[in-house]
């Protein structure tokens, strides 16, 4: 029956990690997948997470029962407050419906499937706009959710390495009313280039004027500036504007809970919603109807960890410090890599490495450079030249800088 199955292409990000793991060279370096590594190059379990995991099992009521279809209620509340802010009017109005999801990808998939099923104008589905470039999985999730191929809008100014605001505004001005626009809340992946708050205001105005529906993907809250509230600034501007929006939140990176698959999807109803309680109830019921046939209900452990961190003042304070520590080590690696490239004379302007924020640097290296780095130096990164800065350490940065110089000069 399955003779006709052909080989699928390997994933552009996780496939790089598979190749890295299969490489037996002892000095190999992984700058591919966006996962934080310590100064020793090792995975990092946050101390606060370990503590909360112990606390979970000290509670005699702890068990492995099913969670509800939409997840742990206390997690839903705390995640919503973390990203929208506890004083958000949409929260007090009851206009935000949040469900627990299988991290950010799960939230995007549930949210887009919901849109495909329940978009007001069932006769024509909305076009989905994604930034160019964007995280690879966006391009794949959109058609898999039944929404056809995504359209792109200009995002990166390749020359400066910053955001191409004129291009972005021009392309979104052409989007039809009701189009869904995927936006990275902070620490844009892969470019590390974010609009300023003033530029976000221009995007809010356009979204209101064109009646577009933003779908925020927030996978790096706390990693851009080191501060959770600062990184939520873009999202809060949109929530304050009272528009319909969706939001995917992930705790993979900022709590180091990659494999726990813990995140949330929020559907925010606009301030023009006629009957908020009834609509919110209906939306939740339909989100559950999407989730149940897909994976029934979400896993519990990650949700309990996040709730334990966010819901306790001491744990929350400890988390903020540990998060700022991760962001600061990445910042140090940016400075060190740029300095090493300047010092060894690698051709090019490497200023963008210190200007971009979050986990990645979009170096401008070509696919040929990336292939050269992999085959000659066992240094792994995605073919678009994205470097996961968290994969660098003080002991590898010089080696990477010298390899980059060689690649660029060859």
Q: Are 372 and 22 in contact (CB under 8 A)?
A: no
CA distance 193 to 367: 20
CA distance 377 to 407: 10
Quote the least distance from Cβ 13 to ligand LMR, whole Å: 4
Residue nearest to ligand LMR (CB): 34
- Restricted to residues 31-50, the positions that interact with ligand LMR (CB under 6 A) are 33-34
Quote the least distance from Cβ 103 to ligand LMR, whole Å: 8
- Estimate the crossing angle of helix 301-310 against helix 313-344, to 10 degrees: 100
Q: Which residue has the tokens 């109807």?
A: 289
Beta bridge partners of 100: 264
CA distance 359 to 222: 11
Quote the least distance from Cβ 77 to ligand LMR, whole Å: 26
The one catalytic residue among 164, 171, 194, 217: 217
The one catalytic residue among 164, 171, 194, 253: 253
**Nearer to ligand LMR (CB atom), residue 33 or residue 142:** 33
Task: Give one DSSP letter per residue of 331-383, joined into a string.
Answer: HHHHHHHHHHHHHHT-SS--HHHHHS-SSEEE----HHHHHHHHHHH-EE--T
13 binds ligand LMR (CB under 6 A): yes
Distances (CA, A) of 311 to 77, 85, 275: 10, 14, 31
135 is catalytic: yes
217 is catalytic: yes
Tally of residues, the chain: 410
**Using omega within 30 degrees of 0 as the cis cutoff, is the peptide bond preceding 33 cis?**
no
Strand ranges for 211-359 from DSSP E: 213-218, 245-250, 262-268
Binding mask 134-173 for ligand LMR (x = CB under 6 A): -x-x------------------------------------
The one catalytic residue among 70, 135, 194, 405: 135
Binding mask 83-122 for ligand LMR (x = CB under 6 A): ----------------------------------------
**Nearer to ligand LMR (CB atom), residue 217 or residue 244:** 217
251 binds ligand LMR (CB under 6 A): no
**Nearer to ligand LMR (CB atom), residue 69 or residue 183:** 183
Strand ranges for 59-197 from DSSP E: 96-102, 128-132, 151-154, 156-157, 162-163, 180-184
- Restricted to residues 180-199, the positions that interact with ligand LMR (CB under 6 A) are 189
57 is catalytic: no
Quote the least distance from Cβ 144 to ligand LMR, whole Å: 15
Quote the least distance from Cβ 275 to ligand LMR, whole Å: 38
Q: What is the contact surface with ligand LMR in residues (CB under 6 A)?
A: 13, 33-34, 135, 137, 189
| Residues with catalytic function | 135, 217, 253
């Amino acid at each position: 029956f399955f003779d006709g199955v052909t080989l699928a292409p390997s994933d552009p990000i996780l496939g790089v990690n598979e190749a890295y793991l299969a490489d037996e060279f002892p000095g190999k370096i992984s700058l591919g997948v966006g996962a934080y590594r310590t100064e020793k190059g090792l995975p990092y379990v946050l101390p606060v997470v370990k503590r909360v995991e112990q606390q979970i099992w000290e509670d005699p009521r702890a068990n492995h029962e099913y969670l509800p279809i939409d997840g742990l209620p206390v997690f839903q509340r705390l995640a919503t407050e973390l990203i929208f802010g506890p004083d958000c009017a949409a929260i007090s109005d009851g206009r935000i419906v949040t469900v627990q999801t299988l991290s950010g990808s799960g939230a995007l998939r549930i949210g887009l499937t919901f849109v495909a099923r329940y978009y007001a104008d069932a006769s024509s589905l909305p076009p989905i706009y994604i930034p160019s470039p964007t995280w690879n999985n966006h391009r794949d999730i959109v058609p898999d959710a039944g929404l056809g191929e995504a359209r792109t809008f200009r995002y990166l100014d390749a020359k400066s390495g910053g955001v191409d605001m004129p291009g972005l505004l021009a392309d979104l001005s052409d989007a039809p009313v009701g189009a869904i626009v995927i936006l990275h809340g902070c620490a844009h992946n892969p470019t590390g280039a974010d609009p300023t708050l003033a530029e976000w205001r221009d995007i809010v105005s356009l979204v209101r004027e064109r009646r577009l529906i933003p779908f925020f993907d927030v996978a790096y809250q706390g990693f851009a500036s080191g501060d959770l509230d600062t990184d939520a600034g873009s999202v809060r501007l949109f929530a304050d504007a009272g528009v319909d929006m969706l939001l995917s939140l992930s705790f993979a990176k900022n709590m180091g809970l990659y494999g726990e698959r813990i995140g949330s999807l929020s559907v925010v109803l606009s301030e023009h919603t006629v009957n908020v309680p009834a609509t919110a109830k209906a939306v939740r019921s339909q989100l559950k109807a999407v989730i149940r046939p897909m994976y029934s209900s979400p896993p519990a452990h990650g949700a309990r960890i996040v709730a334990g961190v966010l819901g306790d003042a001491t744990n929350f304070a400890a988390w903020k410090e540990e998060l700022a520590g991760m962001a600061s080590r990445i910042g140090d690696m940016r400075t060190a890599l740029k300095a090493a490239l300047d010092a060894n004379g690698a051709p090019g302007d490497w200023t963008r490495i210190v200007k971009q924020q979050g986990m990645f640097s979009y170096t401008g290296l070509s696919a040929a450079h990336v292939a050269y780095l992999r085959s000659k130096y066992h240094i792994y990164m995605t073919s678009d030249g994205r470097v996961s800065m968290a994969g660098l350490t003080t002991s590898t940065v010089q080696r990477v800088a010298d390899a980059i110089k060689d690649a660029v000069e060859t």
